[in-house]
């Protein structure tokens, strides 16, 4: 697919550190206004208005939305809220009690838990590969007893390995990318 045919895509990174060049053609980026305002739910039922910056490649004219790393692309909830729900499930809780604690609709939490359960093994193996690439001297990890728990442990190990290598920004990027693109990926039929 050439640069001209690519759709608008969301790039998950810190808005204050935009990418230096376009992945498709290597052209330089220029500011291009803002994306639509979104309402994002955070812990405690707090709703935050988010208006991400947009940039455009001067060569291929593809636009990108710069989403701060604490948010997950195409989700109405912050990464912290989603991770809290997944950790509660790995601890043995059900979707209704998790939803009540996080002030979220039960159906939303149930959907996250179903998708994450179905994708957990794949995410565990990807996260461990990612962790070993970031820290080749990584030691063994003890099993937690559940597939989702093992996947979340692997995500944590990968995030810690990336943080040791890249610093605090690396941790946020790793968590958001693994959770958003892996655990919450749509179910395969």
String of DSSP letters for 102-136: HT--HHHHHHHHHHHHHHHHHHHHHHHHHHHHH-T
What pLDDT, on the 0 to 100 scale, is given for residue 114? 93
Residue 18 sits in the same domain as residue 106: no
Q: Could you give the angle at which helices 95-102 and 79-90 cross, rounded to 10 degrees?
A: 150
Assess contact for 70 and 78: CB atoms under 8 A.
Answer: yes
Domain assignment of residue 42, yes or no: yes
Residue 112 sits in the same domain as residue 59: no
Assess contact for 67 and 13: CB atoms under 8 A.
Answer: yes
In terms of residue numbers, what domain contains 53?
Answer: 3-67
Average pLDDT across each block of 10 residues of the chain; the chain has 189 residues. List them in order: 46 62 82 89 87 88 80 82 91 95 93 91 88 87 90 86 74 58 59
Q: How many domains does one find in the chain? A: 2
What pLDDT, on the 0 to 100 scale, is given for residue 3? 46
Burial 100-138 (b: 16+ CB within 10 A, else e): eebebeeebbbebbebbbebbeebbebbbebbeebbeee
């Amino acid at each position: 697919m050439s640069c001209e045919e690519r759709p608008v895509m969301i790039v998950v990174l810190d808005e204050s550190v935009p990418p230096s060049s376009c992945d498709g053609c290597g052209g330089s980026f220029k500011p291009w206004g803002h994306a639509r305002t979104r309402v994002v739910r955070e812990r405690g039922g707090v709703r935050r208005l988010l208006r991400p910056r947009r940039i455009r490649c001067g060569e291929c004219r593809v636009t990108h939305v710069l989403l701060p790393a604490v948010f997950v692309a195409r989700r109405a909830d912050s990464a912290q809220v989603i991770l809290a729900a997944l950790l509660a499930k790995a601890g043995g809780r059900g979707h209704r009690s998790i939803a009540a604690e996080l002030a979220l609709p039960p159906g939303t939490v149930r959907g996250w838990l179903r998708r994450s359960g179905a994708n957990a093994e794949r995410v565990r193996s990807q996260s461990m590969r990612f962790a070993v690439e970031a820290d080749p001297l990584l030691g063994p990890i003890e099993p937690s007893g559940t597939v989702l728990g093992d996947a979340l442990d692997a995500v944590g190990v990968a995030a810690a390995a990336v943080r040791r290598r890249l610093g605090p920004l690396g941790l946020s990027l790793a968590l958001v990318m693994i959770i958003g693109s892996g655990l919450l990926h749509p179910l395969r039929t």
